[in-house]
């Protein structure tokens, strides 16, 4: 026997308009095992919850059924309410008579009958509820930050400042990410390196942060609070403890023609190199695929000139196995390769470049020392055309989304060029201007009003060479006229896209990516830095293109989530997970093969009666997400999902089918 | 119902957009007015409304403006717009749909000289099953009452033997005529 | 059936103003051992006029040809780019639009299996026959002739209908030019529209479009323009006087069908190729003496990608010669 209390919510008019809640309560009062039934306007409110608590006391209820909205909204609310009333929180059930009834039907009679049926089913299920308790999970108070761009750096700084250890893993030889490649930043026109390098130095010297560069995360196992990551630190061929950063090695290196990744394919670097002068750590790396010694066995000049004897050609990759409680993914974005556009030259015209490449050309640390020389003949351009939305807002060849930052960085480019060479003719072809941050709209207006940049509304159809100029075939849709501009240099604002290996990393971390391979957040509005995998957080543009302020903010937000996690003595795990009944389990491990979370292990079990040993399945409760797939796959019904047992579900079905 | 009022007041046809989209079998509602079509249109210099403006007119239901433009007849169906449109709108098909709609409403008056050319061409096809150039040109001159354009050129071509003198009527000409009846 | 046998769909123009194309196509194919069997009782494909005014006729006219081709059972060689475009559009409808296919099969009394594919003659010669084999037959290279390849619109657009070559930077005509031993000039009007059917009724508009193309050909230093469509040929030739007037210059650039160029490079007599019917005389090109058989027979490598292509090709020639 049980004493179930049924509480039917009006939800204002959301439910009551279509469902006769009083009749539902009256019907509920007559159901078996129901000791009390009532209605209220808003059950989730404080007075509503008080009604429940008082009813539990007054009528000695031992289970509650709340007929209201979806459990995805208020399951926790009513579980806490039951707990406050002195009951085990898992003796609380919900019948969804809103999303699954009043919101999808219009006939009052039929809707009310369905609501009553739903309550009946919930009551039948509640009868079989068991006492369940959350278990404690220990937390390893160390965070892993994957990606050393500004978002990752900020996240590492904030977690470290909260008093916890951080390991920051970066794939390239230096931290800094995309921001290190920028010349100036909008809208303040701060020099990017000047504002970033202090943060880089800060994070490098923070005693709580260990930076591991030229390294990648190979695999991650474990669960919330208890992750183990295997990190491969690639061999730099330079001993970090010996190198003093003098730089003689890369000055003397004879292999000088390797395309520079940092300079976005413009300009070259040597085989032993640091990506940029302010690199952190300021220790060079030997690119073994292009180093003469590794290719032919000859050279070793760097070794000869190194005064610190830091060159080590025999250095091996190092595998680090580390434990973490939380992981922050901050791997950033790539830039679309515009060679897919035949109408813009298939990447074959040297004077048609991307925005990132222009950034490197005008930067003092770039391939032309900051003097804007066009790639084909080194001439300083007298006319420059900017084409926005290349690859963005393009369903056919690129991506349908807007890359968010291009309108701003294009305006920035035009201002920077005009500042240095006011006589340059600059045209910018746009579809819309998206300047939604603080000071952003005013910044774009400056480009037009103060610097005289001509903004023409219309997407460019084609760019082709004529003589030593590029002809841009565009249109001004405000005038309704086709326009043709002859330019010395054409700059394409190419789309920001997810990194090519984002999906692979997501798989390693067991997190989802969307159709563009950006990491998927737990809720697009309310949980932007969490994922649906507990313990894994997101920061920066790997979730979606962002400008610097948003990247920094999300880095701090992710760090706050981690710090709050680490601040608890232990974490609590939901008990509604699967459980194996070893007596009847035959050890076929079918459950293991279907489990999407790798949460089932094989263990030995000794039957207490017969003393026979057999292998059986066992659920790792920390990893189990309670999806129930294993229950469906078990041939011997030896695995059950707590809170969703076969018995409960069958009773619900029977109730549903009964007249 | 679109409650747009234009000055001067123009008649708005609320179903025009869906009708043309269905006839052209293309999702023209996806157009974001980026105007890449207009930027690359080789005949754009002669049009009164550029291709993106035609799509806009269709969106708004301004049927008379769209059907009365010279753009739809000057369009050479070079397919540049269709190939480059980032939203994969088949503008060439939209132009065909608009031409056919114009003819539906105004008969053979719609289309001026260009329309007359198409009529002359198809008249030849209906007569012989194939387009016979000499009679086609003759028919065109009659329809447009323009006898002097290209007279010298025509003579030159004739002397070079570029015109097949006698038209050949194919055996299956009835089947060909049947394709126009429906 | 020999592997080099095709049905042949000349199209209306090739029996009229495009006669030279028909003559040269047949002559070249005979020389290559490609047998062309003209489709029985074929009809007009409808060209631009049908799809402008009547969307069913636009599919049904080429549909009748598709039925004839199906019965003949061979792939069909189509020299005219416009006819090719219309037939491919119909082919796509037959493959993807079940309603259209059922109606066509009923009205034209046939059952579509797709075994008779419509291919442009350029594709057949360059891809099916192959450049390697072709080069062996080109024994009278057009050394010293500088040519540009003009593809026009319907041969390459839209790529999902016709696409056997790139819509922005196609190379098949360029390959033919190089194989013929001529010098390939680099230019950027390859796929600009010539005005199509506007020629007769809006010569003012057409003239401007042709002027743009000719100007670029002139700037590229071309001795001639090579085409693969009789309407493009007609427009580029007949509108040259108007284009000259518009740009206050004097264009006299002969326009050759690619089959005429190949025919010359095979050493075939110009009259057999129809070269005497051109309005703009190709005499400059005809004056070149064809070289003896065997000498530099393998000039001209496959078209390379890259703006430095000319220098690369020159390098290859030196290596071979």
3-state secondary structure of A586: coil
pLDDT at position B133: 85
pLDDT at position C316: 38
CA angle at A528 for the pair A523 and A529, rounded to the nearest 5°: 125
In this structure, the answer to whether residues A100 and A214 fall within a common structural domain is no
Contacts of C321 (CB under 8 A, 6+ apart): C296, C299
Residues of C in contact with B114 (CB under 8 A): 197-198, 201-202
pLDDT digits (tens, 9 = 90+) for A22-33: 999 999 999 999
Per-residue HEC secondary structure of A326-356 comes to EEEECCCEEECCHHHCHHHCCCCCCCEEEHH
Percentage of chain C surpassing pLDDT 70?
89
Residues of B in contact with C43 (CB under 8 A): 125, 129-130, 170, 172-173, 175-176
pLDDT digits (tens, 9 = 90+) for B74-86: 999 999 999 999 9
Q: Using a CB–CB cutoff of 8 Å, tell me whether B34 touches chain A.
A: yes
Chain A / chain B CB contacts < 8 angstroms: 72
With left for phi above 0 and alpha for psi between -120 and 50, is residue A404 left, alpha or beta? left
CATH number at residue A616: 3.30.70.3270
Beta strand C35-38 with C5-8 is parallel
pLDDT digits (tens, 9 = 90+) for A118-139: 999 999 999 999 999 998 989 9
Contacts of C315 (CB under 8 A, 6+ apart): none
End residue of a domain, out of A315, A346, A373: A315
Contact (CB, 8 A) for A624 and A580:
no
Mean pLDDT score of chain B, rounded to an integer? 91
Q: Is residue A571 part of a domain?
A: no
A6 forms beta bridges with: A37, A65
**Chain B interface mutation, best of C12, C153, C274, highest count of B Cβ atoms under 10 Å:** C12
- Residue A445, number of CB atoms within 10 A of its CB: 13
Contact (CB, 8 A) for A143 and A166:
yes
pLDDT digits (tens, 9 = 90+) for A495-508: 999 999 999 999 99
CA B61 to mean position of chain CA atoms: 19
Instruction: Kindly tell me if the per-residue pLDDT of C319 is higher than 50.
Output: no
Instruction: Kindly tell me if the per-residue pLDDT of C1 is higher than 80.
Output: no
3-state secondary structure of A35: strand
Beta strand C255-257 with C183-184 is unpaired
The residue behind tokens 């750096």 is A153
Contact (CB, 8 A) for C66 and B179:
no
Q: Is residue A155 part of a domain?
A: yes
In A274-339, which ranges are continuous DSSP H helix? 292-296, 301-305
Mean pLDDT score of chain C, rounded to an integer? 88
Contacts of A388 (CB under 8 A, 6+ apart): A406, A407, A410, A428, A429, A430, A431, A493
Contact (CB, 8 A) for A323 and A142:
yes
In this structure, the answer to whether residues A538 and A476 fall within a common structural domain is no
- In this complex, the residue of B32, B50, B86 whose CB is nearest that of residue A475 is B50
Instruction: Kindly tell me if the per-residue pLDDT of C2 is higher than 70.
Output: no
CATH number at residue A61: 3.40.50.960
> Pick from A438, A439, A337: which is nearest to A391 by CA?
A337
> Rounded mean pLDDT of A561-590?
93
Q: How confident is the model at residue A597 (pLDDT cuts 50, 70, 90)?
A: confident
pLDDT at position B157: 81
- In this complex, the residue of B99, B144, B153 whose CB is nearest that of residue C53 is B99
Residues of C in contact with B160 (CB under 8 A): 276-279
Give the total residue count for chain C: 321
User: Residue C318, CB half-sphere, CA atoms under 13 Å: how many?
Assistant: 6
Contacts of A570 (CB under 8 A, 6+ apart): A136, A137, A138, A139, A225
| Per-residue tokens: A644 | 């969703």
Q: Using a CB–CB cutoff of 8 Å, tell me whether C196 touches chain B.
A: yes
Beta strand A318-324 with A226-233 is antiparallel
CA distance A477 to chain B (A): 7
In this structure, the answer to whether residues A25 and A154 fall within a common structural domain is no
pLDDT digits (tens, 9 = 90+) for C242-267: 999 999 999 999 999 999 999 999 99
Q: How confident is the model at residue C307 (pLDDT cuts 50, 70, 90)?
A: very low
Q: Is residue A359 part of a domain?
A: yes
> Pick from A69, A78, A79: which is nearest to A16 by CA?
A69
Residues of A in contact with C167 (CB under 8 A): 342
With left for phi above 0 and alpha for psi between -120 and 50, is residue A77 left, alpha or beta? alpha
List the single residue in B with minimal CA-CA distance to A459. B36
Cβ <8 Å between C60 and B179: yes
What are the phi and psi torsion angles at C30 (to 5°)?
Answer: -60, -45
Give the right CATH number for C139-320 from 3.40.50.150, 3.40.50.720, 3.40.190.10, 3.40.50.11810. 3.40.50.11810
Q: Is residue A67 part of a domain?
A: yes
With left for phi above 0 and alpha for psi between -120 and 50, is residue B47 left, alpha or beta? beta
Give the total residue count for chain B: 182
What are the phi and psi torsion angles at A586 (to 5°)?
Answer: -95, 0
Q: Is residue A242 part of a domain?
A: yes
Instruction: Kindly tell me if the per-residue pLDDT of B147 is higher than 90.
Output: no
Long-range contacts of A115-120 (CB under 8 A, 24+ apart): A115/A15, A115/A19, A115/A21, A115/A24, A115/A67, A116/A23, A116/A24, A116/A27, A116/A28, A117/A655, A117/A656, A118/A67, A119/A6, A119/A8, A119/A24, A119/A27, A119/A28, A119/A31, A119/A65, A119/A67, A119/A95, A120/A31, A120/A655
> Rounded mean pLDDT of A302-324?
96
Contact (CB, 8 A) for B51 and B41:
yes
Q: How many domains does chain A have?
A: 5
In this structure, the answer to whether residues A327 and A364 fall within a common structural domain is no
Contacts of A189 (CB under 8 A, 6+ apart): A412, A415, A416
Instruction: Kindly tell me if the per-residue pLDDT of C125 is higher than 50.
Output: yes
> Pick from C74, C89, C79, C88: which is nearest to C2 by CA?
C74
End residue of a domain, out of A565, A586, A605: A565
Instruction: Kindly tell me if the per-residue pLDDT of A209 is higher than 80.
Output: yes
Cβ <8 Å between C278 and B160: yes
In this structure, the answer to whether residues A544 and A592 fall within a common structural domain is no
Q: What is the largest CA-CA distance in chain A?
A: 95
Positions of E strands within chain C? 5-8, 35-38, 76-78, 118-120, 146-150, 183-184, 224-227, 255-257
DSSP conformation letters of C177-232: HHHTTPEEPP-S-TT----GGGTTT-HHHHHHHHHHHHHHHHHTT-SEEEES-HHH
CA distance B50 to chain A (A): 7
CA angle at A267 for the pair A261 and A271, rounded to the nearest 5°: 60
In this structure, the answer to whether residues A322 and A310 fall within a common structural domain is no
Q: Is residue A510 part of a domain?
A: yes
Residues of B in contact with A490 (CB under 8 A): none
Contacts of C263 (CB under 8 A, 6+ apart): C24, C27, C28, C31, C272, C273
pLDDT at position C314: 38
In this structure, the answer to whether residues A468 and A387 fall within a common structural domain is yes
Q: Is residue A56 part of a domain?
A: yes
pLDDT digits (tens, 9 = 90+) for C152-173: 999 999 999 998 899 999 999 9
| Per-residue tokens: B161 | 């033997």
> Rounded mean pLDDT of C220-241?
95
pLDDT at position A551: 98
Contacts of A422 (CB under 8 A, 6+ apart): A451
3-state secondary structure of C75: coil
**Which chains would you list as touching C if contact means 3+ CB atom pairs under 8 Å?**
A, B
CA angle at C275 for the pair C269 and C276, rounded to the nearest 5°: 105
Instruction: Kindly tell me if the per-residue pLDDT of A262 is higher than 50.
Output: yes
Alpha carbon distance B96, A508 (integer Å): 52
In this structure, the answer to whether residues A10 and A33 fall within a common structural domain is yes
Residues of C in contact with A482 (CB under 8 A): none
DSSP conformation letters of A54-87: HHHHHTT-SEEEEEES-HHHHHHHHHHHHHHTTS
Q: How confident is the model at residue B138 (pLDDT cuts 50, 70, 90)?
A: confident
End residue of a domain, out of A533, A565, A597: A565
Mean pLDDT score of chain A, rounded to an integer? 95
Contact (CB, 8 A) for A122 and A7:
no
Contacts of A167 (CB under 8 A, 6+ apart): A142, A143, A144, A145, A209, A210, A212, A231, A322, A324
Contact (CB, 8 A) for A38 and A19:
no
Burial zone of B112 (CB within 10 Å; 0-12 exposed, 13-18 middle, 19+ buried)? middle
Alpha carbon distance C12, B133 (integer Å): 8
Alpha carbon distance A647, C318 (integer Å): 86
Instruction: Kindly tell me if the per-residue pLDDT of C304 is higher than 60.
Output: no
Long-range contacts of A215-219 (CB under 8 A, 24+ apart): A215/A169, A215/A170, A215/A171, A215/A320, A216/A169, A216/A171, A217/A144, A217/A146, A217/A169, A217/A505, A217/A508, A218/A319, A218/A508, A219/A508
Q: Using a CB–CB cutoff of 8 Å, tell me whether B35 touches chain A.
A: yes
Most confident of the following: A542-556, A596-610, B143-157: A542-556
**Which chains would you list as touching B if contact means 3+ CB atom pairs under 8 Å?**
A, C
Q: Is the dihedral of CA A134, A140, A142, A145 positive or negative?
A: negative
Alpha carbon distance A177, A332 (integer Å): 8
CATH code for the part of the protein at C5-120: 1.20.1050.140
- In this complex, the residue of A343, A348, A466 whose CB is nearest that of residue C307 is A348
Alpha carbon distance A144, A167 (integer Å): 5
pLDDT digits (tens, 9 = 90+) for A343-363: 999 999 999 999 999 999 999
Q: Is residue A521 part of a domain?
A: yes
In this structure, the answer to whether residues A474 and A343 fall within a common structural domain is yes
Cβ <8 Å between A466 and C169: no
Domain with A247, as residue range(s), is 237-315
Q: How far is CA A625 from CA A290, A503, A599, B93, in A?
A: 47, 21, 8, 52
For chain C, give every domain's residue range. 5-120, 139-320
Beta strand C146-150 with C183-184 is parallel
| Per-residue tokens: B10 | 């123009």
pLDDT digits (tens, 9 = 90+) for A382-440: 999 999 999 999 999 989 999 999 999 999 999 999 999 999 999 999 999 999 999 99
- In this complex, the residue of C166, C216, C306 whose CB is nearest that of residue A342 is C166
Cβ <8 Å between B96 and C51: yes
Contact (CB, 8 A) for C225 and C194:
no
pLDDT at position C313: 37
Distance between start and end Cα atoms, chain C: 39
Is the ipTM higher than 0.90? The answer is: yes
Q: How confident is the model at residue C320 (pLDDT cuts 50, 70, 90)?
A: very low
- In this complex, the residue of A394, A431, A482 whose CB is nearest that of residue B44 is A482
Cβ <8 Å between A342 and C307: no
> Pick from A6, A98, A124, A128: which is nearest to A658 by CA?
A124
- In this complex, the residue of B38, B45, B85 whose CB is nearest that of residue A458 is B38
């Amino acid at each position: 026997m049980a004493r179930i209390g049924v509480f039917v919510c009006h939800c204002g008019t959301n439910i009551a308009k279509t469902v006769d809640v009083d009749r539902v309560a009256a019907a509920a009062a007559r159901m078996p095992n129901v000791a009390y039934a009532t209605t209220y306007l808003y059950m989730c409110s404080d007075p509503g919850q008080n009604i429940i608590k008082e009813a539990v006391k007054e009528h000695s209820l031992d289970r509650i059924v709340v007929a209201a909205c979806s459990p995805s909204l208020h399951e926790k609310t009513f579980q806490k309410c039951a707990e406050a009333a002195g009951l085990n929180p898992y003796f609380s059930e919900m019948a969804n008579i809103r999303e699954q009834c009043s919101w999808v039907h219009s006939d009052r009679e039929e809707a009310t009958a369905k609501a009553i049926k739903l309550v009946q089913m919930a009551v039948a299920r509640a009868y079989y509820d068991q006492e369940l308790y959350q278990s404690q999970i220990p937390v390893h108070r160390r965070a892993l930050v994957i990606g050393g761009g500004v978002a990752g750096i900020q996240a590492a700084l904030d977690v470290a400042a909260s008093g916890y250890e951080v390991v920051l893993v970066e794939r390239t030889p230096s931290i800094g990410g995309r921001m290190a490649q920028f010349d100036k930043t909008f809208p303040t026109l701060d020099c990017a390196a000047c504002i970033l390098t202090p943060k880089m130095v800060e994070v490098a010297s923070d005693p709580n942060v260990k930076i591991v560069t030229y390294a990648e995360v190979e695999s991650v196992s474990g669960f919330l609070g208890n992750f183990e990551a295997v990190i491969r630190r690639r061999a730099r061929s330079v001993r970090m403890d010996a190198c003093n950063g003098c730089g003689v090695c890369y000055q003397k290196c004879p292999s000088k023609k390797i395309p520079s990744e940092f300079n976005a394919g413009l300009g070259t670097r040597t085989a032993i190199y640091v990506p940029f002068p302010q690199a952190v750590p300021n220790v060079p790396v030997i690119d073994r695929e292009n180093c003469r010694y590794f290719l032919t066995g000859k050279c070793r000049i760097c070794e000869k000139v190194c005064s610190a004897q830091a060159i080590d050609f025999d250095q091996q990759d190092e595998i680090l196995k580390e434990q973490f409680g939380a992981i922050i993914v901050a791997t950033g974005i790539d830039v679309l390769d515009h060679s897919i556009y035949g109408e813009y030259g298939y990447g074959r015209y040297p004077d048609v470049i991307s925005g990132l490449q222009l950034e490197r050309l005008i930067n003092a640390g770039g391939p032309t020392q900051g003097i804007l020389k066009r790639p084909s003949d080194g001439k300083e351009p007298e006319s420059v055309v900017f084409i926005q939305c290349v690859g963005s807002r393009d369903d056919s060849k690129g991506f349908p989304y807007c890359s968010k930052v291009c309108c701003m960085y294009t305006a920035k480019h035009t201002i920077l060029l005009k500042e240095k060479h006011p006589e340059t003719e600059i045209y910018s072809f746009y579809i819309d201007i998206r300047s939604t941050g603080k000071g952003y709209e005013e910044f774009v207006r400056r480009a037009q009003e103060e610097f005289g940049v001509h903004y023409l509304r219309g997407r460019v159809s084609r760019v082709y060479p004529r003589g030593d100029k590029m002809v841009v075939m565009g249109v001004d849709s405000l005038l309704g006229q086709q326009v043709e501009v002859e330019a010395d240099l054409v700059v394409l604002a190419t789309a920001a896209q997810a990194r090519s290996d984002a999906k692979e990393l997501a798989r390693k971390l067991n997190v989802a990516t969307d159709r563009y391979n950006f990491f998927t957040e737990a809720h697009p509005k309310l949980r932007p830095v969490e994922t649906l995998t507990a313990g894994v957080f997101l920061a920066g543009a790997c979730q979606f293109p962002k400008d610097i302020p948003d990247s920094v903010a999300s880095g701090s937000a992710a760090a706050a989530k981690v710090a709050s996690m680490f601040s608890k003595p232990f974490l609590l795990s939901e008990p509604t997970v699967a459980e194996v009944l070893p007596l009847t389990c035959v050890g076929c491990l079918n459950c293991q093969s279907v489990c999407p979370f790798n949460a089932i292990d094989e263990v030995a079990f000794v039957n207490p009666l017969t003393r026979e040993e057999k292998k059986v399945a066992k659920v790792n409760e920390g990893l189990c997400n309670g999806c129930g797939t294993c229950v469906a796959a078990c041939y011997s019904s030896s695995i059950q999902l707590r809170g969703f047992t076969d018995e409960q579900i069958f009773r619900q079905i029977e109730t549903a089918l009964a007249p | 119902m679109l409650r747009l009022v234009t000055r001067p007041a123009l008649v708005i046809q609320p179903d025009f957009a869906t009708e043309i989209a269905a006839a052209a079998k293309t999702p023209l509602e996806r157009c974001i007015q980026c105007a890449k079509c207009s930027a690359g249109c080789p005949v754009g210099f002669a049009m009164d409304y550029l291709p993106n403006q035609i799509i806009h007119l269709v969106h708004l239901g301004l049927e008379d403006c769209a059907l009365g433009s010279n753009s739809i007849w000057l369009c050479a169906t070079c397919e540049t717009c269709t190939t480059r449109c980032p939203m994969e709108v088949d503008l060439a098909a939209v132009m065909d749909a608009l031409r056919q709609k114009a003819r539906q409403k105004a008969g053979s008056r719609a289309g001026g000289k260009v329309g007359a050319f198409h009529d002359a061409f198809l008249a030849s096809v209906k007569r012989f099953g194939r387009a016979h150039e000499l009679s086609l040109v003759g028919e065109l001159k009659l329809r447009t009452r323009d006898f002097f354009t290209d007279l010298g050129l025509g003579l030159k071509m004739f002397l070079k033997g570029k015109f097949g003198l006698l038209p050949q009527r194919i055996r299956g000409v009835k089947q060909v005529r049947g394709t126009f009846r429906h | 059936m020999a592997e080099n046998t095709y049905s042949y769909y000349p199209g209306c123009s090739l029996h009229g103003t495009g006669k030279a194309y028909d003559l040269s196509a047949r002559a070249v194919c005979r020389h290559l051992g490609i047998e062309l069997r003209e489709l029985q009782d074929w009809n007009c494909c409808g060209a631009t006029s049908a799809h402008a005014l009547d969307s069913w006729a636009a599919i049904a006219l080429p549909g009748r040809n598709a039925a004839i081709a199906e019965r003949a059972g061979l792939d069909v060689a189509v020299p005219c780019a416009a006819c090719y475009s219309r037939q491919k559009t119909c082919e796509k409808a037959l493959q993807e639009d079940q309603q259209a296919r059922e109606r066509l099969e009923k009205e034209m009394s046939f059952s579509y299996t797709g075994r008779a594919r419509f291919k442009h003659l350029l594709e057949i010669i360059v891809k099916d026959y192959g450049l390697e084999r072709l080069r062996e037959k080109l024994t009278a290279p057009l050394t010293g002739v500088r040519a540009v390849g003009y593809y026009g619109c319907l041969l390459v657009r839209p790529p999902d209908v016709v696409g056997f070559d790139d819509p922005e930077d196609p190379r098949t005509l360029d390959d033919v030019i190089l194989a013929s031993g001529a010098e390939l000039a680099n230019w950027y009007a390859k796929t600009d529209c010539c005005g199509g059917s506007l020629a007769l009724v809006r010569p003012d508009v057409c003239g401007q479009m042709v002027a743009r193309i000719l100007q670029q050909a002139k700037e590229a230093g071309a001795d001639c323009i090579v085409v693969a469509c009789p309407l493009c040929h007609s427009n580029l030739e007949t509108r040259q006087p108007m284009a000259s007037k518009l740009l206050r210059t004097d264009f006299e650039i002969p326009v050759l069908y690619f089959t005429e160029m190949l025919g010359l490079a095979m050493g075939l007599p110009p009259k057999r190729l129809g070269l005497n019917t051109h309005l703009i005389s190709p005499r400059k090109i005809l004056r070149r003496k064809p070289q003896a058989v065997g000498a530099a027979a393998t000039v001209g490598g496959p078209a390379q990608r890259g703006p430095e292509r000319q220098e690369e090709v020159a390098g290859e020639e030196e290596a071979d010669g």
